[in-house]
Amino acid sequence: MGAVASSLALPFDQLLDRGFRGPLVKGLLGAVLALVGLTVLADWGVSSLAGGQGWLATAAGLLGAVAVIFAAFWLFVPVALAIAGLFSDETAAAVERKHYPGLPPARGASLAAQARFNLVLALKVLAVNLVLLPLTFIVPVVGAPLLWMVAAIALGHGLFEGVAQRRMSVTQARVLRRRREASVLMVGAVMALLALVPFANLLVPVLGTAAMTHLLHRGRGGPVPDGTTAGA
C-alpha cells in the first residue's frame, strides 16, 4: 500500500517542474483535441438517431446531450492510453531524472513492439466500451460499474506495461505486471475515477504514466537507484 500511495502522490509534486512541463503540455493538448473530437463524434451519432418535433423530441435532445457527454468521457479511456503511449518515454524519463537518477539508460522493447502493444490494447478497450455503453444507458447500475472496472483494468495494465517496456521486453513487462496485479489495479482504479472528472481527466495520460513509473521502481522486486529491492 505504501508504494501505491507514494506512486499516486509523487506525480502531483512534479507537475510544475521544468523537466515535466514538456510532456505535460503535449499530453494536455493531445487529450483536449481527443476529447473534443470524441464529443463531436458522439454528438453526430446521437443527432443521427434523434429527430421529430414536440416535447418527445426535446426530451430526446436533452437525454442525447447527457449521452454525448457520458459517451465522450468513457470513450476517452482508450484514447488516453494511446496518448500515454506517445509521451510515455518523455514522461517516464522526467520522473526518473528527478527521483531515480542512478538508473542505467532505458533499453527495453523496441519502439515497434511498444507501439503494437499500445494499439492492440486501445482497440480492445474501445471495442469493449462500445459494447458496454448501451447497457450503461439502459441499466446504469450495472453498466456504469462495469465500464469503470474495464477502465481500471485497461489503464492499470496499459500504463504499467507501457512504462515497464522501456526497460524490459514486452513479455517480461507482462510477467512483472502480473506479479504486482493488486498494486497495478489500485493505481488503475484511481486513474479511472480521475478520467470521469472534467478537466482533471486531461491529466490522466501523463499523471498515470508518472504514477506507474514510480510503481515500477518502488513496487516489490522493482529496481531502485541503489540496486536494492523496494518494499511493497
Q: What is the pLDDT of residues 195-204, one digit of tens each?
A: 878 778 778 8
List the beta bridge partners of residue 223: 229
User: SS3 for 207?
Assistant: helix
Element (H, E) at 25: helix 18-49
Burial bucket for residue 203 (CB in 10 Å: 0-12, 13-18, 19+)? buried
Predicted confidence band of residue 7 (pLDDT cuts 50, 70, 90): very high
- Within 13 Å and on the Cβ side, how many CA atoms surround 183? 29
Cα separation, 54 vs 70, in Å, equals 25
**What mean pLDDT value characterizes the chain?**
77
Q: Which set of grid coordinates corresponds to residue 5?
A: 500511495
86-140 confidence digits (pLDDT tens): 778 888 999 999 999 988 988 888 878 887 887 888 788 878 877 877 777 677 7
The four Cα atoms 183, 114, 126, 178 give a dihedral, to 10 degrees, of -30
Query: Would you list the domain boundaries of the chain?
Result: 2-218
Query: pTM for this one?
Result: 0.76
